[in-house]
Chain A
Amino acid sequence: MPAITYEDNSYALGEGESVLDCLAREGHDIPSSCRSGVCHSCMLRATSGELPPAAQKGLKDAHRAQGYFLSCCCHPEGDLTVTRADDATQKVAARVLRKETLNDRVLRVVLETDKPLEYFPGQFVNFARPGGLVRSFSLASVPALGNELEFHVALVLGGSMSGWLHHEAAPGDPLELLGPLGNCFYVSGNPEQPLFMLGTGTGLAPLYGILRDALNQGHRGPIHLFHGALLASDLYLTESLRDLDGKHENFTYHASVRDEPGEDWMEQGAVDTLALKTAPDLKGWKVFLCGNPDLVKQVQRKTFMAGANMKDIHADAFLPAGGG
């Protein structure tokens, strides 16, 4: 009988039992509802072992790639080690390596980790400082850069972590990283699929990671990146992105400014309106939305109505931290 390992205990899977049945029998309180693979409330994550395909049916590619599965439909043939879906799996020590100004408010922070962090560009990690301060930041780097991780940090008024990073943090200062978390990332396997990426503010960070990941992996379908801002001075990485646009025939960078004309090569208007004018029919597209939560929600709905499948829409709303 296969053994299911959960929270350091191993249980023999009974005849005909699902992983959910087995853990429930042993007194673990795993949330569940439909028990037929529809509601997804019993989702767990496998950290080792082989998952039967039926246990991942209907999940997003991003979930599948990370070993998430539905415990009610999981009848494995071999041993499995599983954790709760929301458990951050890695804890990595890191140090500030360097800081660079990207614009008036946004800082590029590069951290170096002691050991490699396994991640998909576009996921986020939690920065933890001594004293219990924790904030989430998206990964703008790609794994090819080794132990160097890149983040874009906007200065938040009264923000403890962003204030520290902007004003005090110096090379060598330690931080603890927890994660990675999140499902907003590129999954290979469909290199012709058109990609629609839209972000505001430092929503560009995950998109910059996802974009470079897709290009590195030889994505061939068209990729459109829309970065929207109120003023031209709120945009950043414009040179790097225009450079990538010039180098890759399938990549188009659209910078838009809402409240002023901006430079010649920029577009003026609301980013979502401009983006949907450029790509009005999103049937078959993969969509990545990052940044301002209200905008992300609105565009999630608009891109769905424009034909994108729910499974192909990855929305990463940057929620403000509670209490500074």
Chain B
Amino acid sequence: MSSVYEQIGGEAAVDAAVDIFYRHVLGDNRISRFFEGVDMETQAQKQKAFLTMAFGGPHNYTGKDMREGHAHLVKQGLNDSHFDAVAENLAKTLKELNVPQNLIDEVMTIAESTREDVLGR
């Protein structure tokens, strides 16, 4: 059985998804304020790393990285509702790319597993 990452299409799938996902996130009024003043190229690179991880691909993300990377946002009020909004945008992106539902479910499970670290709990 090949990994989710392989089934979903590997790096090419990440490349296809990253701009669509980032555009959804920036266009979402519930969360766009967290991206104000952020360097877009650096952020796009981070989105790519996040998607690679969520797709079950090769990555070096640790829970500690997730915590440290979001700590300043938690101080600004990042909470479950924002995490849910990002997850929603991720699912929407995958649907647009016609990813089969069973794979979307697996990706969402991986994304969900980062919730406590992202929110610093």
Q: Which residues of A contact B (CB under 8 A)?
A: 33-40, 57-58, 297, 300-301, 304-305, 309-310, 313, 315
Contacts and interface: CB of A to CB of B under 8 A. Distances in A.
Given A36-B59, A38-B49, A38-B59, 15 more contacts: A36-B52, A36-B60, A38-B52, A39-B45, A40-B45, A57-B11, A58-B11, A58-B15, A58-B48, A301-B26, A304-B22, A304-B40, A310-B18, A310-B19, A310-B22
12 contacts: A34-B49, A34-B60, A36-B52, A36-B57, A36-B58, A36-B60, A38-B48, A57-B11, A301-B40, A304-B23, A305-B26, A315-B40
Contacts of A315: 40-41
A298 B60 CA distance: 32
B interface SS class: helix
Contacts of B15: 58
Contacts of B26: 301, 304-305
Interface residues of B, number: 19
10 closest residue pairs by CB, A with B: A36-B58, A310-B44, A38-B49, A34-B60, A309-B19, A38-B52, A38-B48, A300-B40, A40-B45, A310-B19
A301 B38 CA distance: 11
B27 interface: yes
Contacts of B59: 34, 36, 38
A122 B49 CA distance: 30
A276 to B, nearest CB: 15
B49 A305 contact: no
A152 B55 CA distance: 48
| A33, A34, A38, A313 pick with most chain B CB within 10 angstroms | A38
Nearest to A60: B41
A interface SS class: loop
Nearest to A33: B60
B41 to A, nearest CB: 7
A153 to B, nearest CB: 27
Interface string B1-30: 000000000010001001100110011000
B29 to A, nearest CB: 13
A310 B49 contact: no
A313 B41 CA distance: 9
A85 to B, nearest CB: 14
A96 to B, nearest CB: 35
A58 B11 CA distance: 9
A36 B51 CA distance: 13
Nearest to A57: B11
Contacts of A297: 40
Interface string B52-65: 10000111100000
A304 B32 CA distance: 14
Interface string B84-105: 0000000000000000000000
A317 B18 CA distance: 24
A63 to B, nearest CB: 11
Contacts of B19: 304, 309-310
A301 B27 CA distance: 10
Nearest to A34: B60
A58 B44 CA distance: 12
Contacts of B48: 38, 58
A203 B94 CA distance: 38
Contacts of A38: 45, 48-49, 52, 59
A310 B40 contact: yes
A38 B58 CA distance: 9
A70 to B, nearest CB: 12
